[in-house]
């Protein structure tokens, strides 16, 4: 004898025989709404428009006072080199000024003595004219033996528009999944109960060392990043 299943029995069988992933299951809680939890992701390309340059100066002198004056003079000269290359003064800052003693090598029966003083200072610059960034990089590399170009990295000055667009895509992705999964169990979406979002840095810090910069003659490609937003949404089921 063949029996026909009612619509309610068929839906119950579907839920029993083919459960959805944990993130998309309907949850029935006594005294509460049935719920459907889904996740979504949105991605939008991000093109870097600035470059951070880390450089510095290093000098050695016999006396601490002389080392301090020499490193200050070298740092002033390097700042001028950078501004002359087209970087605005407001986009340059100096930091990590240090004067430290250096010592002779250790020898049997002899205490180590101060052999001189090492003065260092780091200069950080933000280059906004990327097509001409090579001018700044090459100027720093040619600034003298007491100057070091440490590294550069690219970034986007303001990626809020890309992140907002990625978030919109992520929520649309989550809703599309929710609609589809609700239909699979014969239900409809109700109100949004909870939602949350998380973002990933569109352009992760990637430092390019001096050797790679010199090999490219300062002509570096900024590449492209991705604004990525992940969301989690809980809907009531009707």
Taking only the tens place, the pLDDT of each residue in 81-124 is: 999 999 999 999 999 899 999 999 888 878 889 999 999 999 99
Contact 49/202 with Cβ under 8 angstroms? no
Q: Where in the chain is the domain with CATH 3.30.70.2970?
A: 50-155
Distance CA 192, CA 236 (A): 6
Does the 21-47+159-237 domain belong in CATH 3.40.50.300?
no
Q: Give the strand order in the sheet containing 225-237.
A: 26-27, 35-46, 225-237, 189-200
Does the 50-155 domain belong in CATH 3.40.630.30?
no
Q: Give the strand order in the sheet containing 114-127.
A: 92-103, 114-127, 50-61, 147-155, 208-209
Q: Is the model's pTM score more than 0.85?
A: no
Would you give the DSSP letter of residue 223?
Answer: -
Q: Where in the chain is the domain with CATH 3.30.110.170?
A: 21-47+159-237
Helix (H, G, I), strand (E, B), or coil: what is residue 115?
A: strand
Predicted confidence at residue 196, as pLDDT, reads 96
Residues found in the chain? 238
Would strands 114-127 and 92-103 be described as parallel, antiparallel, or unpaired?
A: antiparallel
Helix (H, G, I), strand (E, B), or coil: what is residue 1?
A: coil
CA distances to 145, 174, 200, 225 from 167, in Å: 49, 11, 11, 16
Number of other residues whose CB lies within 10 A of the CB of residue 186: 14
Lowest mean pLDDT among 18-22, 77-81, 180-184: 18-22
pLDDT band for 32, please (50, 70, 90 cuts): low
């Amino acid at each position: 004898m063949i029996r026909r299943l009612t619509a309610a029995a068929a839906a119950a069988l579907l839920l029993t025989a083919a459960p959805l992933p944990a993130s998309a299951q309907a949850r029935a809680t006594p005294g509460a709404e049935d719920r459907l939890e889904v996740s979504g992701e949105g991605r939008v390309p991000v093109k870097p428009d600035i470059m951070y340059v880390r450089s510095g100066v290093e000098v050695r002198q016999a006396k601490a006072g002389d080392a301090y004056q020499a490193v200050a003079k070298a740092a002033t000269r390097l700042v001028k080199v950078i501004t002359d290359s087209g970087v605005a003064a407001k986009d340059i800052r100096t930091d990590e000024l240090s004067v430290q003693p250096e010592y002779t090598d250790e020898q049997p029966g002899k205490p180590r003595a101060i052999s001189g003083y090492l003065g260092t200072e780091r200069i950080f610059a933000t280059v906004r004219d990327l097509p001409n960034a090579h001018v700044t990089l090459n100027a720093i590399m040619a600034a003298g033996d007491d100057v070091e170009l440490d590294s550069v990295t690219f970034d986007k000055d303001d990626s809020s528009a890309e992140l907002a667009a990625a978030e919109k895509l992520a929520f649309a992705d989550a809703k599309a999944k929710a609609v589809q999964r609700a239909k699979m169990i014969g239900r409809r979406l109700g109100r949004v109960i909870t939602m949350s979002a998380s973002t990933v840095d569109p352009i992760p810090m990637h430092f390019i060392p001096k050797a790679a910069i010199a090999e490219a003659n300062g002509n570096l490609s900024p590449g492209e990043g991705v604004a990525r937003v992940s969301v989690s949404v809980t809907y009531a089921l009707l």
